[in-house]
């Protein structure tokens, strides 16, 4: 796994530029990466060239004017002003946004003023430019987000605004960003006063609130301190760092939320700092993409950094930490880029001047494979792969390399092969098996098991060739490579010291009782287990396995796949194009508003296509099949 290594410290020798740095930003300018640093109200803007090895060398600097430096922004923002790249550095309540043009070599050009910002803006903390070239500003004094268009002469013209309400989190917005989902543009703001996030869809000249995440939605968000938005495989995720910020507590948390197709927010992960991690009192987040893999760095008052990789379904997976190095005391900002097979991180401290350079070798990273929901074998290669199981029974084979292997919701078999592998176990209430386990080399990440905080409390049974672990309905059988018993001490040593986390309910493994399971607005994978269950998929393209028992399943919005087991089940696909498989027993299977495909399976079923052009198969036994509206194809089969 990647290890962070300090490469050195960089300073300009000018106190005003080296101390009080509030933000770092890396951008590629004409194919060359440039690092920019802002040192706040009494400082200026500094540019550094970055070589292939990531080494920073001084390029240029500009001191802020005393006439407007009191409005220096906490964060730097890259702007495209009618085709000219510029960096916004300050804003005031005197109708001005201040920025610097960038020269072709990345050096700092002329200072510019953009008029039209609106004299009513009381205090400006952040600026963001959307793909539509709209410029959004967080006016914290008025609890308002304002959107501006850029005129042909480079001035600003306010086009839209939205003010905080009792149901949104827009008071004292400290960070603002944007995302695009299904041809809709969204503006996202994080409120440090109300401790939450609100999302707004751009609808003409109106900002429409579509989603909120905070205490009212049951999320344990403290005071937001940093926010990043990333896209993985067409899915948009918001990462929010939060901390007590009361001068007392040292806790820290990172919340991952997916921006769903309808603009709502669904939490996919929520990790909390522990003694094993280094993001207590977290103040800074940085995200960097490296050949299709998304890495996340976090730091703050814990005198160190934590490195994660963000998995495709929105889980933060711990990779490594670093601490005890000069320059990591009270981390205040960071930036990163990827070149030459390594991550290069640049980190500032509230104590030390300048910034330190840290690198992590990721040149051996391999493939990322997510299993579908049909079960089968997932094969890695000879490099460091990320292999993720689906909702059925998978065989996950890492082969060579230091792999991350995550089980799915079925009864899975995991074999890492050669290399130091990390086995990640979800909560699915099934019996999973790890083969080829190598003590003192491979590790176990059980942090997704509910309420699992102390390895000493896990249930342990020795076997002739390994051990069986159990915890609150989770069962893990471990078979060692050498065929020897795995001692309890070896088990404790293998369990990773990870951040604490809230369970991810977008992948839900049910137990064998009678349950009510509600999905989310994103693509859920739900395996209900045995028992008479009621499952509501809600929005998103869901996969739902009812399991044994008499189940009632409603897919909801999205293109859903519903698989039923034994028992007399009821299933309704809901909106969009659904695929429904009946099981043994007399099932009642309803399509929905569009073209559905329904298989009755064994037993005397009642199948109704409803609206749309449906494809209906009865299966064995005597079935009743009703096509309803539109042009349906009906096959009795028996």
User: Whole-angstrom Cα distance, residue 157 to residue 630?
Assistant: 50
Element (H, E) at 589: strand 588-592
Residue 20 is encoded by which pair of tokens?
């009080």
Nearest to 265 by CA among 342, 339, 179: 179
Output the DSSP codes for 236-294.
EEEEEEEE--SSS----EEEEEEE-TTS-EEEEEEEE--TTSS-TTEEEEEEEEETTEE
Output the DSSP codes for 299-316.
EETTSEEEEEEE-TTS-E
pLDDT at 506: 54
pLDDT at 502: 81
Strand partners, 348: 333
Break the chain into its structural domains and give their ranges: 22-162, 164-362, 366-501, 507-635
User: Whole-angstrom Cα distance, residue 407 to residue 426?
Assistant: 6
What is the pTM assigned to this prediction?
A: 0.86
User: Whole-angstrom Cα distance, residue 395 to residue 377?
Assistant: 5
In CATH, the number for domain 22-162 is 2.130.10.10
User: Whole-angstrom Cα distance, residue 493 to residue 496?
Assistant: 8
User: Whole-angstrom Cα distance, residue 485 to residue 476?
Assistant: 15
User: Whole-angstrom Cα distance, residue 57 to residue 449?
Assistant: 46
What pLDDT digit, counting tens, does each position of 20-64 carry? 999 999 999 888 999 999 998 889 999 999 988 899 999 999 998
Beta pairing class for 184-191 and 196-203: antiparallel
pLDDT at 552: 87
Strand partners, 517: 535
What pLDDT digit, counting tens, does each position of 566-603 carry? 888 888 888 888 888 888 888 888 888 888 888 888 88
Considering the segment(s) 164-362 as one domain, its CATH architecture is 7 Propeller (2.130)
Residue 323 is encoded by which pair of tokens?
């601490």
Q: Across the chain, which distance is largest between two alpha carbons, in Å?
A: 86
- As averages over each run of 10 residues, the pLDDT of the chain (638 residues) reads 94 96 92 93 93 94 84 84 88 71 94 76 74 83 89 89 96 93 94 96 96 91 96 96 81 95 93 94 97 97 96 97 94 96 97 96 97 89 96 92 93 96 92 95 94 92 97 93 97 95 65 78 79 85 83 87 85 87 85 85 84 82 78 73
pLDDT at 173: 92
Q: Do domains 22-162 and 164-362 have the same CATH topology?
A: yes
In CATH, the number for domain 366-501 is 2.150.10.10
DSSP 430: S
Q: Give percent above pLDDT 70 in the chain.
A: 95
């Amino acid at each position: 796994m990647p290890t962070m290594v300090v490469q050195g410290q960089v300073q300009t020798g000018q106190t005003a530029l080296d101390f009080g740095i509030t933000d770092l930003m890396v951008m590629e300018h004409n194919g060359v990466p440039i690092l920019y640093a802002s040192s706040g109200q009494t400082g200026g803007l500094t540019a550094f060239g970055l070589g292939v090895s990531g080494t920073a060398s001084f390029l240029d600097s500009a001191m802020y004017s005393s006439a407007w430096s009191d409005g220096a922004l906490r964060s730097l923002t890259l702007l495209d002003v009618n085709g000219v790249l510029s960096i916004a550095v300050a804003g005031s309540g005197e109708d001005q946004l201040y920025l610097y043009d960038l020269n072709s070599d990345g050096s700092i050009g002329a200072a510019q003023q953009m008029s039209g910002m609106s004299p009513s803006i009381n205090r400006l903390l952040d600026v963001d430019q959307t793909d539509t070239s709209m410029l959004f500003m967080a006016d914290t004094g008025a609890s308002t987000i304002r959107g501006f268009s850029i005129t042909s002469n480079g001035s600003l013209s306010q086009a839209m605004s939205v003010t905080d309400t009792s149901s949104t989190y827009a008071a004292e917005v400290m960070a603002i960003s944007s995302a695009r989902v299904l041809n809709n543009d969204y503006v996202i703001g994080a409120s440090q006063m109300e401790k939450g996030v609100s999302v707004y869809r751009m609808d003409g000249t109106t900002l429409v609130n579509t989603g909120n995440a905070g205490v009212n939605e049951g999320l344990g968000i403290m005071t937001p301190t940093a926010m990043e938005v990333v896209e993985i495989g067409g899915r948009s995720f918001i990462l929010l760092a939060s901390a007590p910020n009361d001068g007392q507590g040292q806790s820290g948390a990172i919340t991952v939320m997916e921006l769903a197709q309808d603009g709502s927010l669904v939490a996919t992960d929520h990790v909390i700092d522990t003694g094993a991690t280094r993001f207590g009192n977290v103040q800074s987040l940085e995200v960097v993409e490296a050949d299709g893999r998304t890495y996340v760095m976090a730091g703050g008052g814990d005198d160190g950094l934590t490195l994660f990789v963000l998995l495709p379904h929105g889980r933060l997976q711990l990779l490594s930490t670093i601490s005890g190095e000069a320059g990591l005391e009270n981390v205040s900002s960071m930036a990163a880029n990827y070149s030459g097979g390594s991550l290069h991180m640049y980190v500032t401290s509230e104590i030390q001047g300048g910034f330190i350079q840290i690198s992590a070798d990721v040149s051996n990273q391999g493939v990322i494979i997510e299993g579908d929901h049909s079960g089968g074998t997932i094969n890695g290669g000879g490099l460091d792969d990320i292999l993720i199981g689906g909702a059925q029974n998978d065989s996950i084979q890492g082969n060579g390399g230091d792999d991350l292997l995550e089980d799915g919701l079925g009864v899975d078999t995991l074999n890492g092969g050669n290399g130091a592998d990390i086995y990640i176990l979800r909560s699915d209430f099934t019996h999973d098996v790890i083969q080829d386990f190598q003590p003192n080399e491979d590790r176990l990440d059980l942090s997704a098991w509910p309420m699992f905080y102390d390895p000493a409390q896990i249930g342990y049974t020795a076997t002739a060739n390994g051990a069986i672990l159990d915890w609150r309905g989770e069962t893990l059988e471990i078979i060692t490579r050498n065929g020897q018993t795995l001692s309890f001490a070896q088990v404790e040593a293998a369990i990773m010291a990870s951040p604490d986390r809230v369970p991810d309910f977008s992948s839900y493994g049910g137990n064998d009782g009678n349950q009510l399971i509600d999905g989310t607005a994103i693509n859920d994978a739900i395996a209900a287990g045995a028992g008479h269950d009621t499952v509501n998929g809600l929005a998103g393209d869901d996969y739902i396995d009812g399991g044994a028992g008499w189940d009632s399943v409603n897919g909801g919005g999205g293109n859903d796949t519903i698989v039923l087991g034994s028992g007399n089940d009821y299933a309704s696909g809901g909106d969009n194009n659904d695929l429904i498989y009946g099981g043994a027993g007399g099932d009642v299977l309803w399509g929905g508003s569009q073209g559905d495909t329904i298989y009755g399976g064994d037993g005397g079923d009642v199948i109704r296509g409803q609206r749309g052009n449906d494809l209906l198969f009865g299966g064995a036994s005597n079935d009743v099949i009703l096509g309803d509206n539109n042009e349906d194809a009906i096959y009795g089969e028996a």
